[in-house]
Amino acid sequence: MANAAERAAATPANESVAAPERLARRLDESGARQRLARFGAARFEPAWLSLWAVAIGRSGETAQPAPAAWLLASSLTPRALLWPEALAFDEAACGDENWLCGGDCPTAASFETLWLWERLARPRRWGLRVQPATCRPVALPLWLGYHDGRHTRLIVLSGVSGEPLASLKPAVLAGFSR
């Protein structure tokens, strides 16, 4: 868990934390149903998970106006999600259905570590760096699937790409508990 000083380095100075903006959901219900069936889910529901986004750019550049990518994470996610384009928000999205708090904002050092893992997997982005000043809360659309066997298994699917996001499971489970 980050201490207050570290977290302050990762969040914009002298700003109160704004409500997370919702990223646009691209996978509709029928698509989610089909994909979750592929993973053996028997039931499903939509959800929103609050995360923290930080821009990735060249050292010395400000991330604005066009960062190379965004890194999405929270203090509870073991790996970050790499968002390789501009964040696309859905201004019209509303409703509080299954709003899950995904955890605190990671420290700047944590974001650096998470970005190191991503860079190891994608050497072409080696020259890019985390831009801590751009840190902002976002809400990631998810589809949650439930597989009822001996244990009920949770399947977390991105509402944007439709890919399974095992690395978000700890954050989602923590969100349930809260």
Partner 1 sequence: MGDFTLVDTLVLIVYVAGIAWLGARFGKDQESTQDYFLGGRKIPGWAIGLSVMATQASAITFIGAPGWGFDGGLERLATFINVPLAMAVLIVVLVPIFHRAGIYSIYELLERRFGPLTRSLAALLFLIARGLATGVVLYAPALVLAVVTGWNVNVTIVLMAVIAVSYTVLGGISAVIWTDVVQMFVLWLGAILSMVLMVTSLPGGWSDVFAYGAANGLFDTLDFSLDPTVTYSIWAGLIGGVVMHVAYFGTDQSQIQRVLTSPSIAEGQRSLLIGGYLLVPQMLLFLFIGVMLATYYQQHGLIAPENLNELFPRYVVEAFPVGITGLVIAGVFAAAMSSLDSALNSLSAVTIRDFYARYVKPDASERHYLRASRWATVFWGLYATAFAFFAGNLGPVIEAVNRIGSWFYGALLGVFLLAVMTHRSNGRGAVAGMIVGMAAVWAASQLGISWLYQNAVGLIVSVGVGYAVSLTAPAPSREQLSDVVIDETAPDMQALLKGRSADARIIGDDARVTRRRCIGLIVWFFVSLAALGALQLWANAQ
Positions touching partner 1 (CB under 8 A) are 33-34, 36-45, 78-79, 123-124, 144-149, 151-155, 163-164, 166, 169-170, 173, 176-177
Return the number of other C-beta atoms located less than 10 Å from residue 18's C-beta: 9
Q: 1 or 124, CB closer to partner 1?
A: 124
Rounded Cα distance between 146 and 28, Å, is 18
- Per-residue CA distances from 43 to 49, 89, 98, 146, 154 (Å): 19, 27, 15, 5, 10
Asked if 47 contacts 101 with a C-beta cutoff of 8 angstroms, the reply is no
Q: CB of residue 95 vs partner 1: minimum separation in angstroms?
A: 16
Q: 55 or 156, CB closer to partner 1?
A: 156
Segment (H or E) for 99: strand 99-101
Q: CB of residue 170 vs partner 1: minimum separation in angstroms?
A: 7
Segment (H or E) for 10: helix 4-10
Q: 9 or 154, CB closer to partner 1?
A: 154
Q: 8 or 68, CB closer to partner 1?
A: 68
Q: CB of residue 177 vs partner 1: minimum separation in angstroms?
A: 7
Q: CB of residue 4 vs partner 1: minimum separation in angstroms?
A: 28
Which residue is listed with tokens 């990762």? 10
